[in-house]
Every structure is written in C-alpha cells, then in structure tokens.
Amino acid sequence: MAIDTSGVKIEDRPFDQVRQEAIDQLIMNYSHGIISSEAFERRLDIASDARTHQELVDVVADLTLQPDDTYQQQRDKSFSPRYQAGNDTRNEKIFCVLSSSEHSGQWLVPADIRVINILGSIELDFSEAVFQHQHIVIRVNNWIGSVNVLVPEQVNVVSNMFNIVGSTKNRARSIDGQQAPKITIEGYSVLGSLDVNLKRTMKEKFSAFADQFRSMFGLNKS
C-alpha cells in the first residue's frame, strides 16, 4: 500500500495532504522508470481531480517506491518561493501612459508597488520573482487600461479593487502556509481591467518537475 492507512483513518486525514502524498508517489515512481509517461499523466489527472480519499489511495496502490530525501530536497527547491534576506523598504512606481510595461524574470519585489496606468498595458510576472517581504501591497490606479498579474500557485493574492465600468478577475488560489507570500491588490479601475492568473497550473508544474527529476537519473520522457 503506497499511502499508509494503518494509523488515523484515511477519511479523517487532511485531504490536500493525502493528495500531495499521492502525487509525490507518482512522481517518484515515474522518475525511476517504474511507470510510463502515459501512465503518469493519466494517474496525475486522477490525483489532481480526485474528490475522495479513496481515489487517491487507489491511484497509487500498486506503487511501492517511496519519496526519499533527495526527492524532498528537489521538490522543496522547485516549489518554494524565492526569498532573499534583506531589509529593502523601497517603494516602486510604475507609470504607464499609452504604452506597455512588463516586470518579469528574477526581479526583486519591493514591499509597496504603485501602479498608474492610463490607456496602457502592464504585466507583473511574479513566477520567478525574488521576495524579501511576506506581505506585498500593489496600489492600482487604472484608467481605460489593462493590468495583468501572473503568480505561481504558492503565492496568495487578495484583491480589494473598486471598479467603475471595469472588471477584476482573481484566478489565483489562496493556500495555507506560513512561508507563502501574500500580495494584496487595492485601488480602482475605471473602464479598465485587472486580471490575476496563475503562470502555470499546479498540474503543469508537477509534470515539469517530474520530467526534471526523471532526467537526474538519466531517463528521458518516454
């Protein structure tokens, strides 16, 4: 039995924790060539969409290889937000008029970001950003423009926008965890839009990590 069911009843265990155990089992066994890429993708779909504990138990019931310390270290490295020690208290202002502005890559995120957008397009990509602060505030004044915020799944986003004939969509999923940075977006949008999206879904990130971890053992995707 890949998931231990000998202790606390499986139905009484935190569901997300059991799901993570199942996905870890799938990646570990796929990375060592025990299951094919087709089987891995099929089972990952089941684990990602599962609604019951038993579905998670069943999807890895025939897998015996357990995640080891090397696996855990690599997963923590891949899925933890990038932090850098420091006490940078600077504020950053992004001013965009009839133009476009993009922040992406491994940029150092300040504690406070002021966005003024007039008939422009702004993209803030936090997927590879380096955080020094647990809480980031983005203050938005958006006039007939678009603001797109891209985040990895391990970053929490709270939107407190006031819209006047405008729209705000927050597709980021809030997660628990003391290490997860929190971004608060506040301000107003007049005849404009603000969208918060995941850079990659968690399933896509697990698939990419599985292929990366598999390559460490000299195996290609098959």
What tens digit of pLDDT does each residue of 205-216 get? 788 888 888 887
% the chain with pLDDT above 90: 49
**84-87 CB contacts, 8 Å cutoff, 24+ apart:** 84/108, 84/130, 84/131, 84/132, 85/132, 86/132, 87/132
Distance CA 214, CA 49 (A): 23
Q: What is the pTM of this model?
A: 0.67
Average of per-residue pLDDT across 140-159: 91
What is the model's pLDDT at position 175? 56
Pair 172, 125: CB distance under 8 Å: no
Return the H-helix or E-strand segment holding 25.
Answer: helix 15-31
pLDDT digits (tens, 9 = 90+) for 75-98: 877 777 777 766 667 789 999 999
pLDDT at 176: 52
Average pLDDT of the segment spanning 14-41: 91
- With a CB cutoff of 8 Å and minimum separation 6, the contacts of 2 are 22, 25, 57, 60, 61, 62, 63, 64, 66
